[in-house]
Amino acid sequence: MENNKENRNYLQTRKVIGLKDYQIEMIEKQAADLGSESSELKADCITEKSQELPGVFLDDFGDARISLLPDSGCFRAQERMRRYLHRMDADRLLYHFRSASGLSVKEAEPLDGWDASESLLRGHTTGHFLSALALCFRICRDEELKAKAGYMVRSLKECQDSFWAGHRAAEGFLSGYSEEQFDLLEKYTPYPQIWAPYYTLHKLFAGLLDCYEYLQDEIALSISVRLADWVYRRLSRLSRSQRMKMWGLYIAGEFGGMNEVMAKLYRITGKEDYLSCARMFDNDKLFAPLLLGKDALGGLHANQHIPQVIGALEIFLVSGEKRYLIIARRFWEYVTTGHIYAPGGMGEREMFRDRGVIGGFLTANTQETCASYNMLKLTRTLWRLDPDARYMDYYERTMLNHILASQDQEETGESTYFLPLAPGSRKEYEWENSCCHGTGMESQFKYGETIYFHDGKGKVYVNLYLPSVLDDSRNHINIIQKADENEPGRIRIFVKGNIDILALRKPGWCEGGYRILVNGESHEGRANDRGYINLELSFSEGTELEIEFPFRLRYLKTPDMPRLAAIQAGPYILAAPGEQREFLKQPADEGQLNQIFEKDPEIFAYAWEEIRFLPLYRIREGAYHVYFDIG
């Protein structure tokens, strides 16, 4: 897409903008509170100010068609959710917006749960639904769902016009309720008297901008611009200290990714007010320790803060301010090295716990699904700036073992809120239009978006090994990838087109020598220090690759309680059905696993004694175990 090209050129030439004086003073104060030496901080700030920005932002093929092939868990999940989107009544999703703006609700009934008439978060599902429609069209080209999105966008414009014409709100405002919650937030009103009005607003913004980006809906952009002007006018009249106090309010001050959408609007329109507004959502409590190189995440609400970091990274992309990149990179490092469970999720009762404390929090309330959705967004963008396979190792693990495992495999459209890890846990699929239901709709249309990328100079990356097709007529590139979900690590790829280098990710779970056949003949290929195997071949006439990445069963031990471990088999985390409330025992010696576990000859599963092991995503109902006692 043209915007991506502009970003690449921008990133290649832009000099770093350093920290402002007040920010350095604030961080020095944080440093004192954290026991750090401010002199070290000053040196760090000077070093960061003098650095050049990354010179790469990899392209995701923009408007090219990337589609999943049938007979995979990801494809089945996608199609289940597509049918759910067709069943949903658009007028129900518009109910609160029409009611609040004085328009007829067209005999529709309101939604329930978090979107019920008495809920202070009503309207958030509408934003998620718009995003899901746009994302679905991007990969499925479903014209009926595109038309549904268009109908909803036009209806929302009518609501926005009616708010202003009827003197119900200031120009540009749009929501499923009045401006009152925003007024009360500025008076520091706590939850549950108000419930995160800027969080709900972000969902609406995100849905509209997805409709603009993937459906080319100009009305969606015009609504967003008017609404963004309303936000800017509102926040610019407040002092920085007032905003910091607002954002510090538990739940009430949660704002989702408002900084992200404002930065995106700046990228689209070039209007400086939107970049200024994006910075108004800076959260010192989160950002300051990260700039200091401190993991202070323990005790923070995971999904409240991950979107803020995504927004920081978006500000970096449009402004070149290096501090925002530092924030994003350090946050990702701290989370993935000290706060994640084996399936890739994080948080217990929605909160980050102390660094490295995993085994002590294996409960029924682990891994809020929204948090993993947002970590994948962050990971994807960081990889585009720095194509290192470790980002994709995390991405693959979380996508296959949390996101894919979170959807109800019946036709309900429901998702898990938590993905529990206590012994004998069960998945609970919730119906109440929660945050995880919203992101759960979107996630099912994202499986294909990170498989293929290119650098604009003839190099194409293959990140994920999913049955899929890339058809890029603009660049004359066609890739067909086939893989059997019952034989992970065995892949066949047909490649044709203007490609100089095909970069294959060597998975982190691959052990021993991998094998590559090019048109039936063995080919030497070594992974570079970024974890990619670069194949410099002629692909113009069509080339067939056969790839085998071997793996062994291995333990993923909890750092705080090494006697507790999950079992990884290739890209999958294995789960064992079982009602017991105590940890099932496994051999202490990891090497024994590959000797005593018997592989099922028909599906990807294992057995040992009375215990059966299969990928976590394949368990829909019934109790299961993910962590085992190997002590």
Mean pLDDT to the nearest integer, 498-521: 96
CB 8 within 8 A of CB 456: yes
Q: What are phi and psi of 17, to 5 degrees?
A: -95, 125
CB 545 within 8 A of CB 480: no
pLDDT at residue 543, rounded to an integer:
97
Q: What secondary structure does DSSP assign to 314-354, as a single string?
A: HHHHHH--HHHHHHHHHHHHHHHHHSB-TTS-B-BTTB--S
Residue 9 has pLDDT above 70, yes or no: no
Greatest pairwise CA separation for the chain in angstroms: 74
Share of the chain above pLDDT 70, in %: 91
- Radius of gyration of the chain measured on its C-alpha atoms: 24
**HEC per residue, 446-510:** CCCCCCEEECCCCEEEECCCCCEEEEECCCCEEEEEEECCCCCCEEEEEEEECCCEEEEECCCCC
Extract the tokens encoding 606: 């294992």
Q: What share of the chain is helix, strand, coil (3-state, %, to 5)?
A: 45, 15, 40
3-class secondary-structure state, position 102: coil
Q: Lowest-pLDDT range, 91-105, 133-147, 307-321, 511-525?
A: 511-525
CB 433 within 8 A of CB 44: no
375: closest CA among 303, 327, 447?
A: 303
Strands 572-577 and 564-569: antiparallel
DSSP structure class, residue 251: T
Q: What are phi and psi of 608, to 5 degrees?
A: -150, 125
Q: At what angle do helices 258-269 and 302-319 cross, to 10 degrees?
A: 20
Residue carrying structure tokens 């109800």: 408
Residue 5 CA to its chain's centroid (Å)? 23
177: closest CA among 123, 130, 105?
A: 123
Extract the tokens encoding 96: 């609160």
Give the residues across from 502 on adjacent strands: 460, 535
Spatial separation of the C-alpha atoms in residues 573 and 401, rounded to whole Å? 6
CB 628 within 8 A of CB 565: yes
Q: Where are the domains of the chain?
A: 1-11+54-68+451-505+515-548, 73-281, 554-629
Q: What secondary structure does DSSP assign to 398-432, as a single string?
A: HIIIIIHHHB-SSTT--EESB---STTB---EE-S
pLDDT at residue 431, rounded to an integer:
81
585-627 pLDDT tens trace: 999 999 999 999 999 999 999 999 999 999 999 999 999 999 9
The CB density around residue 608, as the number of other CB atoms within 10 Å, is 15
394-437 pLDDT tens trace: 999 999 999 999 999 998 999 999 999 999 999 999 889 999 99
Share of the chain above pLDDT 90, in %: 88
At CA 569, angle to CA 568 and CA 575, rounded to 5?
A: 65
Q: What secondary structure does DSSP assign to 583-626, as a single string?
A: PPB--S-HHHHHHHPEEPSSSS-EEETTEEEEEGGG--SS-EES
56-78 pLDDT tens trace: 899 999 878 999 999 899 999 99
pLDDT mean across residues, the chain = 92
Spatial separation of the C-alpha atoms in residues 143 and 149, rounded to whole Å? 10
Residue 559 has pLDDT above 70, yes or no: yes
Query: E strand or H helix at 543, and its extent?
Result: strand 543-548
Q: Which residues contact 118 (CB under 8 A, 6 or more apart)?
A: none
Spatial separation of the C-alpha atoms in residues 218 and 290, rounded to whole Å? 38
Q: What are phi and psi of 459, to 5 degrees?
A: -105, 130
Residue 7 has pLDDT above 70, yes or no: no
Alpha helices in 59-179 (DSSP H): 73-87, 90-101, 124-140, 143-165
Mean pLDDT to the nearest integer, 18-34: 45
148: closest CA among 96, 95, 91?
A: 91
439: closest CA among 224, 124, 174, 223?
A: 124
Give the residues across from 470 on adjacent strands: 66, 479
CB 610 within 8 A of CB 578: no
Mean pLDDT to the nearest integer, 478-503: 97
Query: E strand or H helix at 308, and its extent?
Result: helix 302-319
Spatial separation of the C-alpha atoms in residues 501 and 491, rounded to whole Å? 18
110-169 pLDDT tens trace: 999 999 999 999 999 999 999 999 999 999 999 999 999 999 999 999 999 999 999 999
The CB density around residue 596, as the number of other CB atoms within 10 Å, is 14
Mean pLDDT to the nearest integer, 10-34: 40
Strands 459-462 and 501-505: parallel
- Torsion sign over Cα 465, 469, 473, 476: positive
Residue 549 CA to its chain's centroid (Å)? 26
pLDDT at residue 136, rounded to an integer:
98
- Torsion sign over Cα 343, 349, 353, 356: negative
3-class secondary-structure state, position 610: coil
Burial 355-385 (b: 16+ CB within 10 A, else e): bebbbebbeebbbbbbbbbbbbbbbbbbbbb
Residue 21 has pLDDT above 50, yes or no: no
Q: Per-residue confidence at 53, pLDDT binned at 50, 70, 90?
A: low
342-372 pLDDT tens trace: 999 999 999 999 999 999 999 999 999 999 9
Residue 304 has pLDDT above 80, yes or no: yes
CB 116 within 8 A of CB 110: yes
